[in-house]
A and B are shown apart, each in its own frame.
Chain A
Amino acid sequence: MDAVVRELSYAQAIQEAMAIAMDMDERVFLMGEDIGVYGGAFQVTGDLVERYGSDRVIDTPISELGGAGVAVGAAVTGMRPIFEFQFSDFATLGMEQIVNQAAKMRFMLGGEVSVPLVMRFPAGSGTGAAAQHSQSLEAWLGHVPGLKVIQPATPHDAKGMLLAAVADPDPVMIFEHKLLYKMKGHVPEGHYTVPIGKAEIRREGRDLTIVATSIMVQKALDAAAVLEGEGIDIEVIDLRTIRPLDRQAVIDSVKKTSRLLCVYEAVKTLGIGAEVSALVAESEAFDYLDAPIVRLGGAETPIPYNPDLEKATVPQVPDIITAARDLVKGVR
């Protein structure tokens, strides 16, 4: 038994996962902008270039479309690339290769190839980087059959899900919230995987289900801790994967609590909250609902620069507390 539980930051957990993946499989390599000696814009790759060399930790030119395409081409011809977009916003520049090529190649070719590609997307607001470096675009990619899209919310899952992604024969898109990079938590040593497509109950409760993604999981847990003092017992589900969605986990929880609150950072409309709400409405859990489903998502605006405005664009703990309390107490 470990006397001391080993803790790593979320960023360190990802770095450790990439190192383990490269140790285990010669075909694994990293590509991205400034991931070499610079260590990555968020120091996720860190000193990996010193340990694995510039042939396996490849600095690309600032060419997101071409770089993404090179990663696709390497993946279909036997390599296992892990491609880092410097900011998830830059996925917009690589969408052609992600959506038209990586996602569809296996299907278009009748199963003759697989695309074992991992792409990492530092995402989300809260860094003062304004409208073009703060978006949450995971639902865009979640809309595309052929892709798998995950949002690990803890250091433990960041490592285990990345290792699952590297082992997966299909393209896996990993959205990492930038504010989580410094979050510390228990991370087991060595190789382990956390399955893609399985949600996790972070807190059990009877009165309300909160389905949250990424950084909103911790905020939901903070809100639940406050409401516990008011006698409100909240269940928090960490969705972890948005494609394929763990429908059963949501349905089972709502059948138990009879109330659903979806909390996510991306723009509220046409997002993951709509999908989760609809899957409950279409399932047997609908008959168990005692209150309308509520979504808390990002504002219908770009992310602003001013820090107070920036905070106001995404759900914060007090917003979750208010919404959860109103839902349980029947306040409309």
Chain B
Amino acid sequence: MAGASKAVMDSRANLPFVYRQYSPEQLREVLHKMYLIRRFEEGAEECYMRGLIHGTMHLSIGQEASAMGICMPLAEDDQITSTHRGHGHCIAKGAEVSRMFAEFFGKTTGYCKGRGGSMHIADVAKGNLGANGIVAGGIPIAVGAALSAKRMKTGKVVVSFFGDGANNEGAFHEALNMAAIWKLPVIFVCENNGYGMSTSTARSTAVKNIAERAAAYSMPGVIVNGNIFSEVAEASFKAVERARAGEGPTLIESKTYRHRGHSKSDRNRYRTKEEIEDWMANRDPIALFETELRDFGFIDDQGIQAIRDAVAKEIADGIEFAKASPAPDIAALADYVYTEHA
């Protein structure tokens, strides 16, 4: 990456990969985005509680380093498929929170013009082919997007995000097999937050680590601490290089934790308060990254406060934008079912 002088580079020689690979500005922007994801979801949750947003939502609070780390080495025209817990992926790939809020409010200015909501949030212009309400639904689609990239020689890489629950769906296995036999430029990212709704991976999954599934499809299987941004980004960087070089897919298991319940109906009866509090107090990905940035001299308290203030304003402005945006016309109900012929 441009920007870092030789003297600065030498001073970073012993730091983890990302601190050598990316400029301080880029890394501070990562912290900004992680805060943006956190505050966006907190804002969405509050709007839901106040009855401003209907339906349901699946919050990824606690998983921000995973979304940001995976997307760090991606170019703007690289593509992702996402999950029902996909707000973080969407922001990490470059979406604007104002249009995301507008979507949650069901407004025409939303990314899906109010037709998709939280569970189908997408930003096709930035390469996000969409969140998906079907567990593992996006995995074969990502393989198809990678087939397009290979056939059309676009050089694009495709990332498929999914959760631990998806690794027991047939689509996961069929998709990984095809990506491997055709050596497609796709990266499978399992964000293992320990529970498929209420069922723990220990109760649902025959292997201890989901990354072990990679061996069955002759691809590298990598385990990272999903709450440490630098670890996730380094693994993603290597997988992206491998994919772009035409060497085929990688399975990354990003071990993480969601602070909130599965969805808004969750009473958290399958895990203990102590477990949740332990993750929140000791392994919060934003706190961990902030501490690293500060310890390595990439940011000071004033800089952190500036980021927090900027994010607070973006969130407030985004909610105002959503509130002020027009609702869809009922007469337009059938729009977008089919492609209107010009």
Q: Is the CB of A69 within 8 A of B338?
A: no
Q: Is the CB of B336 within 8 A of A111?
A: yes
Interchain CB contact (< 8 A) of B337 among A27, A61, A97, A107: A107
Given contacts A61-B178, A108-B122, A112-B112, 19 further A-B contacts (CB under 8 A): A27-B152, A63-B174, A67-B140, A67-B174, A67-B178, A69-B141, A69-B174, A72-B144, A73-B129, A73-B141, A74-B148, A76-B141, A78-B148, A101-B132, A101-B141, A105-B130, A109-B115, A109-B116, A114-B339
Q: Is the CB of A77 within 8 A of B148?
A: yes
Whether, in the assembled complex, A279 has its beta carbon less than 8 Å from a beta carbon of chain B, the answer is no
- In the bound assembly, the distance between CA atoms of A76 and B335 in angstroms comes to 18
Whether, in the assembled complex, A79 has its beta carbon less than 8 Å from a beta carbon of chain B, the answer is yes
A77 surroundings in chain B (CB, below 8 A): 79, 129, 144-145, 148-149
Whether, in the assembled complex, B50 has its beta carbon less than 8 Å from a beta carbon of chain A, the answer is no
Whether, in the assembled complex, B177 has its beta carbon less than 8 Å from a beta carbon of chain A, the answer is yes
Q: Is the CB of B152 within 8 A of A61?
A: no
Closest residue of B by beta carbon distance from A244 = B338
Whether, in the assembled complex, B110 has its beta carbon less than 8 Å from a beta carbon of chain A, the answer is yes
A61 surroundings in chain B (CB, below 8 A): 174, 177-178, 181
Can you give 20 A-B contacts (C-beta < 8 A)? Answer: A27-B152, A61-B174, A65-B140, A66-B140, A66-B143, A69-B143, A69-B144, A69-B174, A70-B178, A78-B152, A79-B147, A97-B137, A101-B141, A106-B337, A109-B112, A110-B116, A111-B335, A112-B124, A113-B129, A146-B337
Closest residue of A by beta carbon distance from B339 = A169
The 7 closest A-B pairs by CB, nearest first: A73-B144, A69-B140, A66-B174, A110-B113, A73-B141, A63-B174, A169-B339
Task: Quote the shortest CB–CB distance from B71 to chain A (angstroms).
Answer: 18
Interface size on B, residues (CB 8 A): 46
Name, among B144, B171, B335, the residue most crowded by chain A CB atoms within 10 Å (CB to CB). B144
Q: Is the CB of B110 within 8 A of A66?
A: no
Q: Is the CB of B177 within 8 A of A66?
A: yes
A316 surroundings in chain B (CB, below 8 A): none
Task: Quote the shortest CB–CB distance from B114 to chain A (angstroms).
Answer: 7
Q: Is the CB of A106 within 8 A of B336?
A: yes
Q: Is the CB of B178 within 8 A of A60?
A: yes
B110 surroundings in chain A (CB, below 8 A): 110
Whether, in the assembled complex, B151 has its beta carbon less than 8 Å from a beta carbon of chain A, the answer is yes
Chain B proximity mask over A155-173: 1 for CB below 8 Å, otherwise 0: 0000000000000011000
Q: Which A63-116 residues sit within 8 Å CB-CB of chain B?
A: 63, 65-79, 81, 96-97, 100-101, 105-114
Task: Quote the shortest CB–CB distance from A138 to chain B (angstroms).
Answer: 18
Chain B proximity mask over A283-310: 1 for CB below 8 Å, otherwise 0: 0000000000000000000000000000
- In the bound assembly, the distance between CA atoms of A247 and B111 in angstroms comes to 35
A73 surroundings in chain B (CB, below 8 A): 81, 129, 140-148
Task: Quote the shortest CB–CB distance from B142 to chain A (angstroms).
Answer: 6
Given contacts A73-B144, A74-B145, contact A107 B175 (CB under 8 A): no
Q: Is the CB of A97 within 8 A of B152?
A: no
- In the bound assembly, the distance between CA atoms of A61 and B174 in angstroms comes to 8
Chain A proximity mask over B113-138: 1 for CB below 8 Å, otherwise 0: 11110001010110001101110010
Given contacts A60-B178, A65-B170, A109-B116, contact A170 B339 (CB under 8 A): yes
Q: Is the CB of A108 within 8 A of B143?
A: no
- In the bound assembly, the distance between CA atoms of A66 and B143 in angstroms comes to 9
Chain B proximity mask over A21-32: 1 for CB below 8 Å, otherwise 0: 000000101000
Closest residue of B by beta carbon distance from A93 = B170
Q: Which A233-276 residues sit within 8 Å CB-CB of chain B?
A: none
Whether, in the assembled complex, A128 has its beta carbon less than 8 Å from a beta carbon of chain B, the answer is no
Whether, in the assembled complex, B139 has its beta carbon less than 8 Å from a beta carbon of chain A, the answer is yes
Q: Is the CB of A65 within 8 A of B171?
A: yes
Task: Quote the shortest CB–CB distance from A117 to chain B (angstroms).
Answer: 10
Task: Quote the shortest CB–CB distance from B147 to chain A (angstroms).
Answer: 5
Q: Is the CB of B338 within 8 A of A71?
A: no
A101 surroundings in chain B (CB, below 8 A): 132, 134, 137, 141
Chain A proximity mask over B14-54: 1 for CB below 8 Å, otherwise 0: 00000000000000000000000000000000000000000
Q: Is the CB of B336 within 8 A of A96?
A: no
Closest residue of A by beta carbon distance from B149 = A77
Whether, in the assembled complex, A145 has its beta carbon less than 8 Å from a beta carbon of chain B, the answer is yes
Name, among A65, A67, A106, A108, the residue most crowded by chain B CB atoms within 10 Å (CB to CB). A108
Given contacts A75-B144, A78-B148, A79-B152, contact A170 B338 (CB under 8 A): yes
- In the bound assembly, the distance between CA atoms of A77 and B139 in angstroms comes to 14
Closest residue of A by beta carbon distance from B182 = A58
- In the bound assembly, the distance between CA atoms of A170 and B336 in angstroms comes to 10
B114 surroundings in chain A (CB, below 8 A): 110
Given contacts A107-B337, A109-B124, contact A74 B144 (CB under 8 A): yes
Chain A proximity mask over B85-111: 1 for CB below 8 Å, otherwise 0: 000000000000000000000000011
Given contacts A109-B130, A112-B124, contact A70 B337 (CB under 8 A): no
- In the bound assembly, the distance between CA atoms of A77 and B143 in angstroms comes to 11
B146 surroundings in chain A (CB, below 8 A): 73
Task: Quote the shortest CB–CB distance from A15 to chain B (angstroms).
Answer: 22
B134 surroundings in chain A (CB, below 8 A): 96, 100-101
Given contacts A70-B144, A70-B147, A100-B133, contact A111 B174 (CB under 8 A): no
Task: Quote the shortest CB–CB distance from B183 to chain A (angstroms).
Answer: 12
A63 surroundings in chain B (CB, below 8 A): 174, 177-178
Whether, in the assembled complex, A55 has its beta carbon less than 8 Å from a beta carbon of chain B, the answer is yes
Task: Quote the shortest CB–CB distance from B99 to chain A (angstroms).
Answer: 11
Q: Is the CB of A97 within 8 A of B140?
A: yes
Chain B proximity mask over A100-143: 1 for CB below 8 Å, otherwise 0: 11000111111111100000000000000000000000000000
B177 surroundings in chain A (CB, below 8 A): 61, 63, 66
Task: Quote the shortest CB–CB distance from B333 to chain A (angstroms).
Answer: 10
Q: Is the CB of A107 within 8 A of B336?
A: yes
Chain A proximity mask over B309-337: 1 for CB below 8 Å, otherwise 0: 00000000000000000000000000111
A79 surroundings in chain B (CB, below 8 A): 144, 147-148, 151-152
- In the bound assembly, the distance between CA atoms of A297 and B148 in angstroms comes to 42
A169 surroundings in chain B (CB, below 8 A): 339, 341
- In the bound assembly, the distance between CA atoms of A234 and B132 in angstroms comes to 50
Closest residue of B by beta carbon distance from A75 = B144
